[in-house]
Structure 1
Amino acid sequence: MAERYRIGNVGPMQLTETAEQRLQQELIVWLTTVTPTGRPQTSPVWFLWKGGEFLIYSLAETARVRNLRANPHVALNFDGDGVGGAVVTFEGVARIDDAAPPASAMPEYVEKYRDGMARNEWTPEVFSSRYSVPIRITPRRVRSW
């Protein structure tokens, strides 16, 4: 059964079972921001799905952060199956959340990315010091097939 999330003023967004599973299991989501000149910029990012929002931690001096400050509209997508199936895309609005705790203080984030941090020879504290900008994305629309 699909779970319902109330998103802003657009009413409930319904997630398919497949979309819900991928939000919990996937390690990477592709985040597309828009440059001030209108060009899309897509980057793979780590994320946590919590409370109907994506939580992403970013390096401070990136095009991603500059783009979000100028234009908060974003798209996210998971990898498909290579032949046009297993598609899940989101459109939403991002905000820098200075009140969010660092990644090292989020047990579920640390657990999810423990292996990735270890591969990069990062402790959760080192990761948090580098990826210090918390970004929350509220999805407004989801498509999946």
Structure 2
Amino acid sequence: MTTGKIDIRFSDPAATAPSWESIDALLDEAQLYWLTTVRSDGRPHVTPLVGVWSDGQFAFCTGVGEQKHLNLEHSPLVAVTTGSNGWKSGTDVVVEGTAHRVTGRERLRPLAEAWLRKYGDDWAWDADDEGFTDGDGSRPWVYVVAPAKVIAFGKDPHSQTVYRP
């Protein structure tokens, strides 16, 4: 990502743009994210989910029958958010981009290992050429979102910073 550009219209005059490295770390360390997809009739669908920030992209998985999967079949445009619910502390981040399905064991295996490192045995996946697998017969598809734009909302002082590739 490039250096962030602070938007003075929505920022305290004392605010400075956080480094991309700090935003990258926040995305990497987050435990919970919110994914926004769009239904075929145009209504938004928002859901919390776990995921990993890997090689500058957000990775998540979904079951083939889940609403987010159905929405992605209609439109791959998504927003991913993470942050805190506090008003005066922390940083909220929005990643806008296009979700692309990941296939191939050689690409999926490192992502399964990243889930295990981050979340432990609660999210222990194996991988085959189509997606993640587990002992229960679950076979979620895996997607990555390469950011088209990332927006960081600082809270002390309040600021809005935009990063673009």
TM-score range (shorter-chain normalised) is 0.7 to 0.9
Q: How many residues align?
A: 129
Alignment partner for residue 112 of structure 1, among 107, 118, 127? 118
- Inter-partner Cα distance in structure 1 for 2:148 and 2:27: 15
Which runs of 5 or more residues in structure 2 are unaligned? 5-18, 127-133, 155-165
Alignment partners' CA distance in 2, 1:13 and 1:132: 35
Alpha-carbon displacement from aligned partner over 1:62-92 (angstroms, at most 9, x marks no partner): 1101111110110011133421652211111
Q: Which residue of 2 aligns with 1:91?
A: 96
> Which residue in the other structure is 2:65 paired with?
61
CA contact (8 A) 1:56 1:135 kept: yes
CA distance in 2, matches of 1:129, 1:57: 15
> Match of 1:124?
125
Structure 1 residue 52 displacement after superposition: 1.5
Deviation of the 1:130 alpha carbon: 2.2
Superposition TM-score, scaled by structure 2 size: 0.67
Query: Whole-Å Cα distance in 2 between the matches of residues 34 and 127 of structure 1?
Result: 31
1:101 alignment partner AA: L
Q: Partner of 1:106: helix, strand, or coil? A: helix
- What amino acid is aligned across from residue 147 of structure 2 in structure 1? P
1:57–1:75 Cα change, 3 Å: same
Deviation at 1:47, TM superposition (A): 1.1
Larger radius of gyration: 2
Pair 1:142–1:71, CA change in 2 (3 A): same
- Aligned partner of residue 18 in structure 1, secondary structure: helix
Match of residue 38 from structure 2: 34
- Percent same amino acid among aligned pairs? 22
Q: CA RMSD in A?
A: 2.5
Structure 2 distance, partners of 1:27, 1:77, is 12
Asked whether the equivalents of residues 13 and 142 of structure 1 are also in contact (C-alpha less than 8 Å), the reply is no
- 1:22 is paired with a residue whose SS is helix
Contact kept, 8 Å, 1:102 with 1:128, in 2: the verdict is no
Mark the CA change 1:31 to 1:127 in structure 2 (over 3 Å): closer, same or farther. farther
TM-score by length of 1: 0.75
Distance 1:55 1:13, change over 3 A: farther
Unaligned runs of 5+ residues in structure 1 are 5-11, 118-122
Shift of 1:50: 1.3
Alignment correspondent of 1:142: 150
